[in-house]
Amino acid sequence: MRTVSATLLSLMITASAALAAGRGTEGEGMGMFAALFIAFGILIVLFQFIPGIMLLVGMLKGIFSANEKKVHDGTK
């Protein structure tokens, strides 16, 4: 009886390890919805990039044109 229980226990341990590692080498991959979600996030970032650049250019123009106005006001 002791031999039978030891054999069954060893078979159960190796079988559970084999079942757990059955698909371990294959990756599940990304589904279609995951790819669409990532693409949507990238589109949001890209569409916010253009207004950000326009805002930066506008601020730089405002900073440098304010300096030019002060120089002109001081010379009059």
Which pLDDT tens digit goes with each residue over 31-57?
889 999 999 999 999 999 999 999 999
Owner of token pair 């991959």: 29
Q: What is the token pair recorded at 4?
A: 């039978």
Strand, helix or coil at 21? coil
* Residue of higher predicted confidence among 10 and 39: 39
Predicted confidence at residue 41, as pLDDT, reads 95
pLDDT above 70: residue 64: yes
Statement: the pTM of the whole predicted model exceeds 0.85: no
pLDDT of amino acid 69:
57
pLDDT interval class at 1 (50, 70, 90) = confident
Location of structure tokens 């084999």: 18
* SS3 (DSSP) at 26: coil
Residue type, 5: S
